[in-house]
Homo-oligomer: A and B are copies of this chain.
Amino acid sequence: MSGSIRGKNIVASPIRSLVPFADKAKEEGKKIIHLNIGQPDIKTPRVALSTVCKLKDEVITYGPSAGLPALRKEVVTYYEKFDAGLKQEDVFVTTGASEAILFALLTCCDNGDEVIIPEPFYANYLGFAQLANVNVLPINTTISNGFELPGAESFEPMITNKTKAIFLCNPGNPTGQLYDKDELTALMVLAKKHNLFVIVDEVYKEFCYDKPFVSVLSYRGMEDNVIVIDSISKVFSACGARVGYLICKNPSIQAAVLKIAQLRLCPPYYGQQLAIAAYSNASIYIERVKEKYLKRRNLLADRLSKMEGVISYKAQAAFYNIVELPVDDAEVFCKWLLTDFEIDGTTLMMAPANGFYFNRSLGIRQVRIAFVLEEAMINKAMDILEEGLKVYNSK
């Protein structure tokens, strides 16, 4: 007896396809350097961890559906530096950014509606769109210019009466790009003209290395259009706490989000307590973390720039880099690294990038590298990549 067709059709996570080969390699005693997933190695703020350990609750009760007031208040204050002008009621605490993505799609779009998303994009956007019966219209961006945002004139012809939103990831996963004020402004004008929501996943906003981050929440006059998705997962290296946010000032969206939030009762209590404490000393912690990523970014870009046949660029933000390799099929090469290659008993795992494209024939020679490990490890990984490419291409 089989389940729903939609259950069968949901796209499987592309970064998991190589997991069986990685597991086998580990069983055989190989060490694997994981540059394939966005799981930071950075320690969660100590004050946040110890706060959870000191909680004195005797009953872990349901909390408010929109999140603990103390946390919503912290988020309002935190966003002052981004000129967001938030009130507490604009902030909905969600179970990770994942839940916020689903809530945004459900409240902005009806079945059969469309959202335009620059590709390559975080693969799970597509899965959530499938759950919400929303069609994704990809707009292509390319490695040749570091995945720059296309101009409004490229978006405009795609807009139909079914188009409800433009969905961005800024800073970008998997690209590491950062959209600047001019690029965003052009899209805002377009969104206003066509009555579109602008949904922006800003979870990597603290890690911008070359130019300042601009939040879409800072645009006056766009209060009705803008929905921001955020999370503590990356900024406080607390992915497992499952705390994210949907932030928006549109009263109609707020009312719908609240009802959906009430359906699932409340976000996780412990994660929220951890988050409250994390914000209390955020700036020093974040600055330190950003410095680490900056060094890693520089090292990675430097190593990649010296590899023959490799096309890449310096990631401006986040902790990802798309890299085009001198191979026919990056997935086959990534698999080969796991099954047939090693240096001193160690090999490398990367994410084939075609899974981040709507059209999976694009990005076939590309991989995504997450620079979430110490520099020594990144250096070792790049040694493996460089040598691996030589051996692979001399076969």
A55: nearest chain-B partner, CB-CB: B53
Contact B109 A256 (CB under 8 A): no
- Give residues 37-84 of A contacting B (CB, 8 Å): 37, 39-44, 49, 52-55, 57-63
- Interface: A110 (CB within 8 A): yes
Q: Within 8 Å of chain B (Cβ to Cβ): is A271?
A: yes
Pick from B60, B195, B256: contact of A240, CB under 8 Å:
B60
Which of chain A's residues 110-127 have a Cβ closer than 8 Å to chain B? Answer: 110-111, 113, 124, 127
- Report Cα–Cα, A59/B43, bound state, in Å: 5
Q: B3, B8, B253: which contacts A7 (Cβ < 8 A)?
A: B253
The answer to whether A1 and B225 touch across the interface, beta carbons within 8 angstroms, is yes
Q: How far is the CA of A1 from the CA of B3 in the complex (A)?
A: 37
* Contact (Cβ within 8 A) B111 A252: no
Do A110 and B63 touch (CB < 8 A)?
no
CA distance A332 to B62 in the complex (A): 27
Q: How far is the CB of A233 from chain B (nearest CB, A)?
A: 8
* A4 in contact with B256 (CB, 8 Å): yes
A268's contact among B40, B164, B263, B270, by CB below 8 Å, is which? B270
Partner of A266, one of B55, B237, B240: B240
A382 at the interface (CB under 8 A from B): no
B263 near A242: Cβ-Cβ < 8 Å = no
Tell me if A4 and B263 are in contact (CB < 8 A): no
Interface residues on A, range: 35 or more
Q: Which of B58, B239, B270 contacts A62 (CB 8 A)?
A: B239
Q: Is the CB of B2 within 8 A of A252?
A: yes
**Inter-subunit contact A110/B6 (CB<8 Å):** yes
A259 within 8 Å of B (CB atoms): yes
Residues of B within 8 A of A49 (CB): 55, 57-58, 60
Of B6, B109, B263, the contact of A111 (CB 8 Å cutoff): B6
A53 to B57: give the CA distance in the assembly, Å: 11
Minimal Cβ-Cβ distance residue in B for A97: B265
A263 contact set on B, CB distance < 8 A: 10, 13, 98, 124, 127-128, 131
A186 at the A/B interface (Cβ < 8 Å)? no
Q: Which residues of B contact A237 (CB under 8 A)?
A: 59-60
Contact of A60 among B11, B12, B274 (CB under 8 A): B274
Tell me whether B54 and A1 are in contact (CB under 8 A).
Answer: no
- 12 residue pairs from A and B, CB less than 8 Å apart: A1-B250, A4-B108, A4-B256, A6-B111, A13-B263, A37-B62, A49-B58, A60-B239, A95-B268, A111-B111, A124-B265, A241-B268
10 further A-B pairs in the complex, CB-CB below 8 A; given A3-B253, A44-B59 = A1-B197, A1-B225, A3-B252, A40-B59, A41-B59, A60-B238, A60-B240, A98-B265, A133-B133, A241-B270
Q: Could you list which residues of chain A lie within 8 angstroms of chain B, going by C-beta atoms? A: 1-8, 10-13, 16, 37, 39-44, 49, 52-55, 57-63, 95-96, 98-99, 102, 106-111, 113, 124, 127-128, 131, 133, 164, 195, 197, 224-225, 237-242, 250, 252-253, 255-257, 259-260, 262-271, 274
